[in-house]
Each structure stands twice: as C-alpha cells, then as structure tokens.
Amino acid sequence: MKNFNIAALAGDGIGPEVMREAIKVLRATEKNFGFQLNITEAPVGWAGIDAAGKALPDTTLALCQQSDSILFGSVGLPDRDPTIPKEERPERAALLRLRKEFSLFANLRPVSLPKALAHACPLAKERQGDGIDILVVRELTGGMYFGQPKKTEELGNGQQRAIDTMVYTTSEIERIAHVAFKSAQLRRKKLTSIDKANVLENGILWRETVTRIGKQYPDVTLEHMFVDNGAMQLMLKPTQFDVMLCENMFGDILSDEAAALGGSLGMLPSASLGATTGGQTFGFYEPAGGTAPDIAGKNLANPIAQILSSALLLRHSFGLHDAAAAIEKAVTQAIHDGNRTGDIFNPLDPTAKKIGTSQMGDAVAAAV
Ligand code: IPM
Ligand code: MG
C-alpha cells in the first residue's frame, strides 16, 4: 500500500478546528482509496511560541523536513503581544520562513462559485454569467515580500524611512510563468498576466519574460493587464478570466478579491509548490483565509477551504487524482444538500440549513 507522510500544522485561531475536519475527510478518503497517510501534528504560530518559545519551533521545522508535504492551518493573532519583535511574529517567522525554506515559489489559488452559492457572491447575477472559475497563480518567494533592502531606518530629525524592495530575476519569472501556462493548458487555455509595466521596471521585465515563455505554449491565449485594471475587471466581468498570473504582492491582493467572488474567503484553498523531484512535488497547502480570531473556538468557521486544501495536497504532491476529485465532489455534494456554515448561509433559501464546523466536516466525510 502506498504510504505518505504529512505534517499537519494547525496554528492559531480557527486553525485547529478546521484542521480537525480536514483530517476527518482525509481519513474517510484513505479508507476508500487504499493508501495510507501518516499524519503528524505539530505546533506553529502563537501555538509554537506558547509550546516552545518560537513561532516555528525546531521540532516542527524538523518534522516538515522529514515529511512529504505540509498541511497548514493559519497563523497570526493581531491582538496578541504587540511588543514581540516583528521578525519573530508568526506571519514572518513561521509562514514566510516556511515558504522561503522550502522554495515554495508557486502559489495556486482556485476560485469558483458553486451555483448553489450564487447569493453569496457580491456581484449581481448578470455579472456571474455561467459561473466564475478562476485560478490565481501567485509568485510566492520573490518581489516585495523578500527583496533586500527591507528595513526601517532613523533619519535623525524625528523622521524614519521604511524601505521594501521589489525585485525579480528573469529565472524567477520564467519558472512561475511555466506553472501558469501549464495550468492554463489543463483548463480553458487562457492566461492573463498581471503587471504594472507602465510604471515599474519589474513590470516591464515581467511582461517581456512572460511573452517570451508564452511562445512555447501556442495553444494558450496570452493577454496582459495592468494590475489596477485587473482589479476592476474582476468586479466588472470576472467570467473573462481563466488563469491570472501575478507577482507576489499583486497576487496577495487580487486573490482575496477573487475569493470574495467565490462566495466566501472560507471556501478558498491554496497550494504552494516547490520543485518536482522524482515525480513528487513538495508542497504546502493552506486555506487563504487566515485565523479569524473573532469566531475561533465557536464551531462557526467554514472548514471547506481547509478540506479543499487537503484535496490539492493529494493531487499535487502525491498524484492521487481520483481521491482529490472525490473530496472536491463531496464538498459540492454537501453544499448541494443544503449544508451551510454561517458565512455562506442564506436565510431566504428554504433548502439551506445552518450548521457548524464539525457538522460540515461530517457531511463532507460522509459524501466521500
Ligand atoms: C496570504 C496571507 C499572507 C500573505 C500573510 C498572512 C503574511 O495574506 O497568504 O495571502 O500576505 O502572503
Ligand atoms: Mg493574503
């Protein structure tokens, strides 16, 4: 029987309760598809600071290094201890550190609006067309998040200067462009590359490089869009997009915007992929939504983003396509059957029943 090692890092806020449901669903899948998952849990984020004094404890990092992939919850609690140095806060010390440590340069964020959730989309029905189905491909280890210099310096006269540096090399753009074109080939064969080539040097290099790589993918239609226009077009005509390719910061912003179109941030999974070696891709899978401290521990959070992230894990890291598809179908089924957490509940829908986090996990696991 095939055997896979997964590090499960639930983190803070709603992390632990949505992780519990994802593991429940993975266990149901394992039973039906004949493979074995060795899932080991470890603390990260504030949970890591509480357990071992560090957002990414050494034992957690070691576990990740020994695993085939990481299923991640979310980290960061804005209201906890403002005195801790910014470099030690969970967002930087755990999340960004892991992205860099494992060279997870390709972040895939698929957004779709299920028919039954049309009401949860902030756009009028006419603008939803036949359905919204977008894949945001976000570069994740370059740009302003990591470029040097990155610092705040004293200017002496009571003034400070903050510096972040946006930097990309040709090869960094090339490798993410290949991921985006290959993704488009498996979908509707349209790629919209987002940049700010009218202002930024980075934008010019981005556009030139993506155009050149595009010649290797003649079956994919490539178009370029400035990021400000891209943000507007998402609201005006989201159905025009298939794959959107973005640098790190633009992808951060546009993926949240796109997620809102899918009904709820609680529905948006993501895969962050490194290089493929020997047929296996090391990957990091997390919901895009964050810790939601206001609803944490109340059985209110939508676990679907975490559950769908575990489906992406099975597909992208282990090539378990049928099992991944089974989870995705089970989510669709659970929604079709009227199961709704608060974020996607419509009181005017007579078939909808409002349920909690664990009941949603039960419904999906049963459908698997
Ligand atoms: C995301 C998040 C992170 C990011 C934060 C928590 C550092 O917003 O994954 O989109 O900006 O990348
Ligand atoms: Mg974000």
Kindly report, residue by residue over 20-43, the tens digit of the pLDDT: 999 999 999 998 999 999 999 999
Nearest to 60, CA basis, from 46, 78, 48 = 48
Given this model, what pLDDT does residue 280 score?
75
Q: Let me know if residue 352 belongs to a domain.
A: yes
Residues 276 and 191 in one domain: no
CA-nearest residue for atom 6, ligand 1, is 91
Q: How many domains does the chain have?
A: 2
Ligand 1 atom nearest to 255, measured from its CA? 10
| Same-domain pairing of 244 and 303 | no
State how beta strands 35-41 and 2-11 pair.
parallel
State whether 171 and 229 are in the same domain: yes
Going from the Cα of 226 to the center of ligand 2, the distance in angstroms, rounded, reads 19
Judge whether 180 lies within some domain: yes
Q: 34: helix, coil or strand?
A: coil
Task: Report the alpha-carbon distance of residue 39 to residue 175 in Å, rounded.
Answer: 30
- Residue 201 makes CB contacts below 8 A (sequence gap 6+) with none
Mutate to test the pocket of ligand 1, among 105, 137, 252 (most ligand atoms within 8 A of CB): 252
Tell me if 91 CB under 6 Å of ligand 1: yes
Has 349 been annotated as catalytic?
Answer: no
Task: Say how far apart CA 340 and CA 357 lie, in whole Å.
Answer: 9
One domain, residues 246 and 151? yes
pLDDT at 324: 97
DSSP-assigned beta bridge partners for residue 246:
138
Which CA distances in Å does 140 have to 61, 115, 170, 194?
A: 19, 31, 15, 15
Cα gap 316→312, rounded to integer Å:
6
The reported pLDDT for the residue numbered 12 is 97
Say if 184 falls within a structural domain: yes
Determine, yes or no, domain membership for 161.
yes
98 lines ligand 1 (CB under 6 A): no
- Residue after which a domain boundary falls, among 245, 261, 277: 261
Is residue 168 annotated as a catalytic residue, yes or no? no
Confirm whether 217 is a catalytic residue: no
117 lies in a domain?
no
Tell me whether residue 116 is in a domain: no
pLDDT by residue (tens digit) across 198-230? 999 999 999 999 999 999 999 999 999 999 999
- What is the Cα–Cα distance from 284 to 107, expressed in whole angstroms? 9
Q: Is 256 a catalytic residue?
A: yes
Which H or E run contains 287? strand 280-287
Q: Which of 261, 294, 323 is the last residue of a domain?
A: 261
CATH number (domain holding residue 4): 3.40.718.10
Q: Is 79 a catalytic residue?
A: no
How many whole angstroms from 36 Cα to the centroid of ligand 2?
32
Domain that holds residue 197: 122-261
In ligand 1, the atom with minimum distance to the C-alpha of 140 is 12
pTM to 2 decimals?
0.94
Output the CA 254–ligand 2 centroid distance in Å. 9
Report the nearest atom of ligand 1 relative to the CA of 76.
6
Residue at 139 is within a domain = yes
| 102 & 133 share domain | no
Substitution site in 75, 95, 111 for ligand 1 pocket (most atoms within 8 Å of beta carbon): 95
Answer yes or no: do 236 and 193 share one domain. yes
Residues of the chain with pLDDT under 70: none
Domain for residue 285, yes or no? yes
Give the residue carrying structure tokens 């969970």. Answer: 90
Chain position carrying tokens 């039906």: 32
Q: Tell me whether residue 178 is exposed, middle or buried, using C-beta atoms within 10 angstroms of its C-beta: 0 to 12, 13 to 18, 19 or more.
A: middle
Residues 226 and 341 in one domain: no
The pLDDT > 90 percentage for the chain reads 89
Q: How far apart are CA 27 and CA 37, in angstroms?
A: 8
The minimum-distance atom of ligand 1 relative to the CA of 286 is: 9
Query: With a 6 A CB cut-off, is 93 part of the ligand 1 pocket?
Result: no
CB atoms within 10 A of CB 84: 14
Q: Of 261, 280, 303, which residue is a domain's last?
A: 261
State residue 278's pLDDT score. 75
pLDDT score at 82: 85
- Mean pLDDT, rounded, of the chain: 95
